Amino acid sequence: MKKKGALSGITVLDLSRLLPGPYCSMILADHGARVIAVEGKRFQADDFFITSVNRNKEHMSLNLKTDAGRQIFDRLVEKTDVIIEGFRPGVVKRLGVDYPSIREKNPAIIYCSISGYGQSGPLKDRAGHDVNYLALSGVLDLIGEADRPPSIPGIQIADIAGGAMNAALGILLALVARGNTGKGQYIDISMTDGMVGLLPPQMYLQQRSGQFPKRGNMQLAHRYACYNTYETKDGRYISIGAVENRFWKLLCVRLDKLEYTPLQYDDDRRKEIIDCMRAEFKQHALAEWEKILEDVDCCWAPVRTMEEVLQDSLFRKREMVLEEPGEAGSNQPVLGLPVKLSDTPGSIRTQSVSFGGSTVEILKELGYSETQIKAFEEKGVI
């Protein structure tokens, strides 16, 4: 029998869509919280119901623009600990489900809003997506090679690291505070704020050198040969992260470039060293380099494709890639849980339900009869 998750007994209503809010509530659901995702049917046709972040949840279709829909929502709120919403500022107030309104019904509620630019400030009403939050925060300007345009990451860093993860952290902090005070509170998460919050190392470098970091020209981004990426003979890439001289020396020894050991951060010869390393790594295919460097403890790693990651023995052993039954009875890989607790581990209990797939069961749990539920369907409440 599996142990209960750390958040067992906590109920979450997730009003959000797309990625930041659902990813946040997935984290909570993975660790035992009961998460009920609530969306209006008008969103059903959108191609943004990301099943991979809706595991371990129930899903309810509910039209909050109707009086009956808000009454149902009010009954849900009575036994809820956390509400997550991801609308533009002001929308939940127009729907009558904003924090002040909910707090009157449940003073212990923890209410988390996730938005692009926050609930206050001159940009609060501006539309945006991940690339915009990266851009405005200064993060995008630091990604890529020198003398080339900023490179848009292939993953949604602002949505996940800036929004979802900070929201989950804020909710957990608020739950601890409520345990001490008995009071709920409001959480304002801005994805752009979250990106600015990722800049401490760059601030340190600026304060130490007096110069602001520039794209592709930082100690930890392409400026030096010891922290760089290199193309291999077969068109693949390898990463080198030999920041400390002891690691750099080990790499130089294996490559028979011992003369470069004391020149690791020599600005006069850095381009020469980088060019030499580029030529060196082009001599062999990636698989050969994995054998050449296998026993060299110098901070290196092959640049894997996503397809390779899903088959990698490390992630299978770490249970970051699991096999779950898919369509037609065949197994398919799913992503595991990165936070691993010894006594109250999270788990994947259920895969994503269909849009609104839990609506009838939840309404029956709230005491509504089959006749009432059918009437809700006819009137477009659910």
Positions annotated as catalytic residues are: 129, 159
Residue 324, number of CB atoms within 10 A of its CB: 11
Give CA–CA dist 151/174, Å, rounded.
36
**Bridge partner residues of 240 (DSSP):** 228, 300
What is the identity of the amino acid at 255? L
CA angle 277, 281, 287 (to 5 degrees): 150
In single-letter form, the type of residue at position 275 comes to D
**Rounded Cα distance, 157 and 166, in Å:** 12
From residue 166, give the alpha-carbon distance in Å to each of 84, 139, 140, 191, 195: 12, 17, 19, 9, 10
DSSP of 89-138:
TTHHHHHT-SHHHHHHH-TT-EEEEEESS-SSSTTTT----HHHHHHHTT
Angle between helical axes of 165-181 and 20-30 (0-180°, round to 10): 50
Rounded distance, CA 62 to CA 37, Å? Answer: 10
Distance in angstroms (rounded) separating the CA atoms of residues 248 and 120: 47
- Distance of alpha carbon 102 from alpha carbon 96, whole angstroms: 8
Beta strands in the chain (DSSP E): 11-14, 34-39, 57-61, 82-85, 110-115, 186-190, 227-231, 237-241, 300-302, 321-325, 331-335
Distance between alpha carbon 340 and the CA centroid of its chain, in Å? 16
First to last CA, the chain: 36
Q: Is residue 166 helix, strand or coil?
A: helix
* Residues linked to residue 226 through DSSP beta bridges, in sequence order: none
